[in-house]
Structure 1
């Protein structure tokens, strides 16, 4: 396999890998490094790449594992979850309220268990199918659905509690 063939296979999902890495690692630089490392590993295994049923799912799994390993390393003790992909428009008051809401959700997401954060990222942000998420996380679809449901319920309940200032 030459470089052109390799790039034709792996380029279409480069942005997905980056977004997943950024969701887990926070830092743009760390996420770029993670994607670069995954691409390097894929390049080294290029002779076997066509044997994988779903190269994208395999690459997403590699990215997730690399990022989680990176977080576990002592060098990465200061990394945390952030999200800056919120579109802004129009009314200043509406934008301010929306930004506060997004900040609140992001704070809540930081407190979720890692598995639930990743499931929300893959399903709600990346819009992957449950079967793809199950392959990436090496789990079954039922467990993914349960984790997603629990994570959404936690986020919803905490948002309601915060918007009601703890009343209700």
Structure 2
């Protein structure tokens, strides 16, 4: 496989790899390093990539594993997980502030969830992966994923309702 074919193969999902790494590692620089590391690992496996059903699922699994390894090795650094892919369409200033505040609360709530739930939310709700693809990436069955996502969304919803009802969490 030549370099051009390889680039065409990974281009459709390299941004997803970066966003998952960014979700888990917070730092843009660390996410870029993780993305590069995964692409290098894929390059080193380029002769065997045809044997995989989904190269994208392989890349996402590699990204998840690499990032979790990084987090484990830097656990003492007390890294937090933040999602920064939010863009608005220039609403009114008060709406912008309210949206920003709500997003910050959702990010805070998500960051308090276990890593596995954070990964599931990122893959399903942000990256829009199908359940069968997520199952391959995280090595869980689809029913367990649906249940975990339902519980995580319920926690987020309840926490947001409490925040908006009482002004504090």
| TM-score, length of structure 1 as denominator length | 0.95
Q: What RMSD in Å do the two structures reach over aligned CA positions?
A: 1.5
The number of residue pairs the alignment matches comes to: 167
**2:145 paired with 1:107:** no
Matching residue of 1:54: 54
Matching residue of 1:42: 42
Runs of 4+ in 1 over 3 A off after TM superposition: none
Unpaired segments ≥5 residues, structure 1: none
Matching residue of 2:119: 118
Deviation at 1:91, TM superposition (A): 0.5
Deviation at 1:134, TM superposition (A): 0.5
Q: Distance in 1 between matches of 2:37 and 2:48?
A: 17
Which deviations, in whole Å up to 9, do the C-alpha atoms of 1:89-146 show, x marking residues without a partner?
1200111111111111111111111111111110010000000000000111011101
Moved more, 72-81 or 143-152: 72-81
Q: Distance in 1 between matches of 2:11 and 2:87?
A: 25
Which deviations, in whole Å up to 9, do the C-alpha atoms of 1:36-64 show, x marking residues without a partner?
00011111111101110000000000000
Deviation at 1:7, TM superposition (A): 1.1
Pair 1:75–1:148, CA change in 2 (3 A): closer
Unpaired segments ≥5 residues, structure 2: none
